[in-house]
Chains A and B, each alone.
Chain A
Amino acid sequence: MNFTEILIAELGSGKVLTGDDISSDFRHDECRGVSGTPDAVVLAADTADVSAVMKLCCEHNVPVTVRGAGTGQAGGAVPVNGGIVLSLINMNKILGVDEAAQCICVQPGVLLGQLKDEAERHGLYYPPDPGEKTATVGGNAATNASGPCAAKYGKTRDYVLDAVIVLSDGTTARLSENAGLGCVLGSEGTLGVITELTLRLIKKPAAETMLLFPFLDTESCISAAVRIADEGFAPAAVEYMDTDMVEFSAKVTGEPVFPVSMDGERCAATLMVTLVGDDEDAVMEMLERIAELGEELECMDILVGDTPVMMREFTAAHDAFHTSVESSAAHSAEYNIAVPTSRMAEMIGFAKASGEKLGLKVMCYAHTGSGGMHIYAVADDDFAERSAALADEVYAKCRTLGGDVRGEYGIGCAKVMYLSAGEAGRFLELKSRFDPKGILNPGKAAK
């Protein structure tokens, strides 16, 4: 029997896809230019399936690429070395909610949007949100996803109370915060397979208001973000939005929401601040303090979105940035990094100037609380070489500013070359202990 036949014999033909039955979806994720063809796809139904697959793959030295919804942006779920794609998308059950303990137990294939909705049905809130609601919770945990609210609420890792992990030899273990779980979360499917998660939930703040602060220049905008954070408002999010990004996205969606000019003067950028409080009065008190702070911030105005409709429109317009570039630019690339907030303006200026030298239009948005930046380059033609050159410059500059090239998307295979020798060495040493045969997602996160 060949290996595929062995898999079918173990799991049944209904859970194993081969040949033409393998959809092209399994050959890529949302990272452009990265693809790979698996020898077989296993649609696991439970932890026992995952354990059986890992045991067989370990015995036969077959590479395994774990996959959720395939929404990753770094090629982490792409089987670049062939082997088996282990899809967890059918492991999509919500196993239980404990309202008193404020936690939820889920399988990894549950989508982030479903998780958030389920929490809300119980009057609770799951804060981590990288934006893509159709991503799986397992994928979020594997990449330690964050997003705009990370500065106030933390990243995915901060909400995982415990998890069931299947190791590379098929061994199953329930790991808690104090028992090695931290290593696996964010390891992009290279150390173990997450098959169950118990996640912490919180009470959602009762009152919320979103503010827009348009600025004439990037430096003032970033300085204001730092000032607002220092003033103790504890905003849920402080988003930097480049006006080039706002305009590009509004043109694609046909729904302009954010200002691009005020009284005839073009804004360079806008800060979108989400204030939260225990009640309306608490938020109103913050608004009054911000009104007093207004002139010191040197913004062009302060706009208020405090109605459900307005807040939905702001959020939808912000969420549309990424998809508008992906869907409409003839050629585009994203450079996802994190830098200290105080260095953001410098990073933005550098990326724009470098892009201009290369003839690329560069635009960006950023989470000023966590330093996460989404920098995009677009062009109509002759893109590959120029975007690669810009990538080299942007990632190098990120390092000199004390930033992290992992950003929010992880390393996958798209950013392996930008890891330092020290980072790669530390990771490979850890991997050798978890996965001595190197079968879990080889070529990812470091090599």
Chain B
Amino acid sequence: MLKILCCVKQVPDVDKMHMDPETGSIVRAGVPAILNPQDAYALSAALSIKERFGAHITLITMGPPAAEAVLRECLAVGADEAVLVSDRAFGNADTLATSYTIYSAACTRGKFDMIFCGTESLDGATGQMGAQLAQRFGFSQVTSTRLISSVDETSQTAVCERALEDGTETLEVSLPCLFTVEKANYPARIPNLKGKMAARKAAIAVVSSDDIPELDRSRIGDPGSPTKVPRMFPPVMPEPGVIIDEGSAEANAARLIELIRNAGGAANG
């Protein structure tokens, strides 16, 4: 049976977040944590493989104990087991330290044929995790995957489609392979009540730094993170546009002329 690793992340709900314009810091108070939406698409792709070809899906996330919630959310739609990589020693990690930690922890769970990741996270949005993990595992990788049309476990190959700026690329890839997944054919799954109830009671494996043999502690957490963020600031928002919808092309044109005339009048003083 195919063994799939699906990487997920708990992120702050950015729709509820705002930035303090004075300090540039993100105000997180009272902001709920959610499953990174892109990771929901990755999980949807993994579930699609499981449904069509049979597979065992292992979820993995690194985060505080509260990150267990997103693992239960993923178990509810059909993932088989979940691993929470959690330890204060892993805190303040950049992508380099995170990919090393995830890789090291995942290796304690056996070998995988396929790894699924979101294209990027809602908070950091570096888009680096998939590529870094593929490199660490020594897997081939397909970014921006739109569709995995077939998987042949015997020949260890898969055929997939990848989104390009000007079209779609069809690839045959060797397994093991890491895929970062786009939403196109893999919208987030909605759990059913039965799955939700079962996920509430499911056991979740917690992996700490002590549980990972031969872990290089200089490569995890803050000491292992060369990336520093000196300052954050909100983006400058452009002026909002105007939607003209007067009910007909003629009325739209008349309204447009009126707006241009008014703008010209204002500009001319």
Partner-B contacts on A (CB < 8 A): 23-24, 28, 32, 211-212, 256-257, 259, 287-288, 290-291, 294, 301-310, 312-313, 327
CB-CB nearest in chain B for A288 = B197
Say yes or no: B37 contacts A309, CB within 8 Å: yes
Whether A307 contacts B193 by the Cβ 8 Å rule is: no
A303 to B196, CA, bound (A): 9
A302 touches B32 (CB 8 A): no
Q: Contacts A212-B190, A294-B193 hold; do A28 and B247 have CB atoms under 8 A apart?
A: yes
B73 CB contacts on chain A under 8 angstroms: 307
A28–B35 Cα distance when bound, in Å, is 44
Q: What residue of chain A has the Cβ atom nearest to residue B251's Cβ?
A: A24
Q: What mask results when residues 59 to 89 of chain B are scored 1 for a CB within 8 Å of chain A, else 0? A: 0000000000000010010000000000000
* B169 is an interface residue with CB less than 8 A from chain A: no
* The residue from A24, A259, A294, A312 contacting B254, defined by CB atoms under 8 A apart: A24
Please, how many angstroms separate the alpha-carbon atoms of A72 and B142 in the complex?
A: 50
Cβ contact of B188, chosen from A288, A291, A294, A310, cutoff 8 A: A310
Q: Which residues of A contact B188 (CB under 8 A)?
A: 309-310, 313
A369 vs B84: C-alpha distance in the bound complex, in angstroms? Answer: 42
| Structural contact, A24 and B246, CB atoms closer than 8 A | yes
Contact assessment for B196 and A287 in the assembled complex, using a CB-CB cutoff below 8 Å: yes
Residue of A nearest to B246 (CB): A24
Measured between alpha carbons, how far is A256 from B183 in the docked complex, in Å? 11
Contact B191 A303 (CB under 8 A): yes
B16 within 8 A of A: yes
Contact B251 A307 (CB under 8 A): no
**Whole-angstrom distance between the Cβ of B124 and the nearest chain A Cβ:** 18
11 pairs, A vs B, C-beta closer than 8 Å: A23-B255, A212-B190, A256-B187, A291-B194, A291-B197, A302-B193, A304-B193, A307-B73, A308-B13, A309-B35, A310-B188
In the complex the two chains form, is A308's CB within 8 Å of B192's CB?
no
Q: Is the CB of A291 within 8 A of B193?
A: yes
A53 shortest CB reach to chain B, Å: 25
Q: What 5 pairs between A and B have smallest CB-CB spacing?
A: A302-B193, A303-B190, A304-B196, A301-B192, A308-B13
Q: Inside 8 A of A310's CB, which chain B residues have their CB?
A: 188, 190
B138-162 contacts to A (CB < 8 Å):
none
Query: Which residue from chain B places its CB closest to the CB of A259 in the assembled complex?
Result: B190
Contact: B258 with A23, CB < 8 Å? Answer: yes
Q: Across the two chains, which residue of chain B brings its CB closest to A33?
A: B247
**Cα distance, A321 to B35, chains bound together (Å):** 27
Checking A23, A303, A307, A312 against B192 with a beta-carbon cut-off of 8 angstroms, the contacting residue is: A303
In the bound complex, residues from chain A placing their C-beta under 8 Å from that of B16 are 308
Q: How large is the interface on B (under 10, 10 to 19, 20 to 34, 35 or more residues)?
A: 20 to 34
CA distance A337 to B103 in the complex (A): 59
A-B contacts besides A24-B254, A212-B190, A291-B193, 18 pairs, CB < 8 Å? A24-B255, A24-B258, A256-B187, A259-B190, A294-B193, A302-B194, A303-B190, A303-B192, A304-B191, A304-B193, A305-B190, A307-B73, A309-B34, A309-B37, A309-B188, A310-B188, A310-B190, A327-B245
Asked if B15 is at the interface (CB within 8 A of a chain A CB), the reply is yes
Contact between B34 and A308 (Cβ–Cβ < 8 Å)? Answer: yes
- Known interface pairs A23-B258, A28-B247, A212-B190. Does A307 touch B34 (Cβ–Cβ under 8 Å)? yes
Shortest distance between the CB of A34 and any CB in chain B (Å): 11
Q: Specify the chain A residue showing the minimal Cβ separation from B40.
A: A309
List B179-195 residues whose CB lies under 8 Å from chain A.
187-188, 190-194
When chains A and B are docked, how far (Å) is the Cα of A24 from the Cα of B253? 12
Report how far A213 CA is from B197 CA in the complex, Å.
16
Residues of B within 8 A of A294 (CB): 193
Chain A positions within 8 Å of B76 at CB level: 304
Residue from A211, A259, A305, A307 within 8 A of B35 (CB atoms): A307
Contacts of A212 in B (CB 8 A): 190
How distant is B175 from chain A, measured CB to nearest CB, in Å? 29
A255 to B49, CA, bound (A): 22
Contact of A304 among B190, B246, B254 (CB under 8 A): B190
A32–B246 CA distance with the chains assembled, in angstroms: 10
Q: Which residues of A contact B255 (CB under 8 A)?
A: 23-24
Assess the B193–A290 pair: CB atoms within 8 A.
yes
Q: What residue in chain B is nearest A284 (Cβ atoms)?
A: B200
Contacts of B26-77 to chain A: CB distance below 8 A:
32, 34-35, 37, 40, 73, 76
Residues of B within 8 A of A256 (CB): 187
| Proximity string of chain B (235-266) to chain A, C-beta cutoff 8 Å, 1 when within and 0 when not | 00000000001110001001100100000000
> Which A residues are in CB contact (< 8 Å) with B194?
291, 302
Query: Which residue of B is nearest A291, CB measured?
Result: B193
Residues of A contacting B258 in the complex (Cβ-Cβ under 8 angstroms): 23-24
Q: Mark B182-219, 1 if CB is under 8 A from A, else 0.
A: 00000110111110110000000000000000000000
Chain B positions within 8 Å of A307 at CB level:
34-35, 73
A45 to B81, CA, bound (A): 62
- Chain A residues with Cβ below 8 Å from B245 are 327
Complex contacts, A288 vs chain B, CB 8 Å = 197
Give the complex CA separation of A148 and B4 in angstroms. 42
| Min CB gap A41→B, angstroms | 14
Per the bound structure, the CA–CA distance linking A135 and B261 in Å amounts to: 28
In whole angstroms, what is the CA distance A211 to B247 when docked? 36
Across the interface, which residues of A come within 8 angstroms of B247, CB to CB?
Answer: 28, 32
Cα separation A212 to B191 with both chains bound (whole Å): 10
Question: Smallest CB–CB gap between B17 and chain A, Å?
Answer: 12
Q: Is there an interface contact between B34 and A306, defined as CB atoms closer than 8 Å?
A: no
A304 to chain B: which residues have CB within 8 Å? 76, 190-193, 196
Residues B1-38 near A (CB distance < 8 A): 13, 15-16, 32, 34-35, 37
Q: Which residues of A contact B35 (CB under 8 A)?
A: 307, 309
**Docked complex Cα distance between A256 and B13 (Å):** 22
- Chain A positions within 8 Å of B32 at CB level: 308
A424 to chain B, nearest CB (A): 29
Residues of B with C-beta under 8 A to A305: 190
Residues of B within 8 A of A287 (CB): 193, 196-197
Give the CA-CA distance A310 to B255 in the complex, in Å.
Answer: 38
CB distance from A400 to the nearest CB of B (A): 33
Q: Complex Cα distance A163/B34, Å?
A: 41
